[in-house]
Amino acid sequence: MTCPLFQVDSFTDTLFKGNPAAVCLLDQWLEDNVLQAIAMENNLSETAFLVKKISREASEDHTWDLRWFTPTTEVDLCGHATLAAAHILISEGISKSRSLLFDTHSGRLKVENKNDSLTMDFPVLLPKPQEIDHDLLGALGLKKCLDTLFNQDLLIVVENEEEVLTLAPDFRSLKEFPYRGVIVSAPGKNVDFVSRFFGPRVGVDEDPVTGSAHCLLTPYWAEKLAKNKLLASQISPRSGTILCELKGDRVLLTGRAVTVIRGEFLLPF
């Protein structure tokens, strides 16, 4: 058995920048342990698995089931792999629709193709104050912070972009804390805000550009900066840019993507 497999750099239009994700197209769902094994073999921060929804309309090609796996676990929400999945469906001519729907563990997500960019409609994750162990700051290489909040991931706000850029976390120590991911963010010099994302607990020491983190970052910075449209940069070594818009209880995340690899995954059954 074979299945089409692609690798895509998300939140960039430049090869080898942004966040790489694998996209695997399936005719039907495989056992979870097989999906996990494929994601481990890909060894990227996320692999997106897609199965087309069965429809009475033969021409309908815009609704898909979507799941995401890191090399070690399944996650409930992933932005860059959703962007990668939509990019492949559109750029490979698999779907002719300019609006795609994905049914996921986080509900139905919508992605629209607008002027060579893709806009994802995601749920807001409202930040809530969170007390943290001071040792966590030490694991990040920080002595102090301005704010700590939580919703799905931990958000730590620091004073300036340079503090975010020069972080050198102790990933072994950071893995001991009970958070899916830890985001460190600050106001940006040339953008509204910058961030980095660390997830050693789910097998991803540093995620290059994290769409789902911006579901939490957007409402925080929208309130702080008193504006609903914000330009964000995740300043990992690969880096990437996301246009964020807060619309009620939804966040619109806009970015670009570029295909890096086309191939087939060979399965022994």
91 and 148 both lie in a single domain: no
Q: Are strands 153-157 and 182-187 parallel, antiparallel or unpaired?
A: parallel
14 and 112 both lie in a single domain: yes
Burial class from Cβ neighbours inside 10 Å (0-12, 13-18, 19+) for residue 151 reads middle
What mean pLDDT do residues 9-15 have? 97
32 and 139 both lie in a single domain: no
| pLDDT over threshold 60, residue 58 | no
Residues 167-176: pLDDT tens digits? 999 999 999 9
Q: Are 4 and 24 in contact (CB under 8 A)?
A: yes
75 and 151 both lie in a single domain: no
119 and 199 both lie in a single domain: no
In this predicted structure, what is the pLDDT of residue 115?
Answer: 82
* CA distances from residue 221 to 168, 224, 227 in whole angstroms, order as listed: 24, 5, 8
10 and 95 both lie in a single domain: yes
What mean pLDDT do residues 53-61 have? 61
What mean pLDDT do residues 101-124 have? 95
Q: Are 182 and 130 in contact (CB under 8 A)?
A: no
Q: Are 2 and 266 in contact (CB under 8 A)?
A: yes
**Catalytic residue list contains 46:** yes
60 and 38 both lie in a single domain: yes
| pLDDT over threshold 90, residue 60 | no
In this predicted structure, what is the pLDDT of residue 62?
Answer: 87
Q: Which of 46-55, 130-139, 231-240 has the weakest average pLDDT? A: 46-55
Nearest CA-CA partner of 74 in 41, 37, 19, 126? 37
66 and 32 both lie in a single domain: yes
Q: Are strands 153-157 and 147-151 parallel, antiparallel or unpaired?
A: antiparallel
* CATH number for position 104: 3.10.310.10
| pLDDT over threshold 70, residue 200 | yes
Tell me the pLDDT band of 55, cut-offs 50, 70 and 90.
Answer: low
68 and 95 both lie in a single domain: yes
Q: How many CB atoms lie within 10 A of CB 88?
A: 25
145 and 103 both lie in a single domain: no
The three-state secondary structure class of 188 is: coil
Q: One of 41, 46, 112, 163 is an active-site residue; which one?
A: 46
10 and 80 both lie in a single domain: yes
Residue 158 is part of which domain span?
Answer: 128-248
In this predicted structure, what is the pLDDT of residue 61?
Answer: 67
pTM score, whole prediction = 0.94
Domain count, the chain: 2
Q: How many CB atoms lie within 10 A of CB 37?
A: 15
9 and 88 both lie in a single domain: yes
Please give, one letter per residue, the 3-state secondary structure of 10-38. ECCCCCCCCEEEEEEEECCCCCHHHHHHH
In this predicted structure, what is the pLDDT of residue 213?
Answer: 98
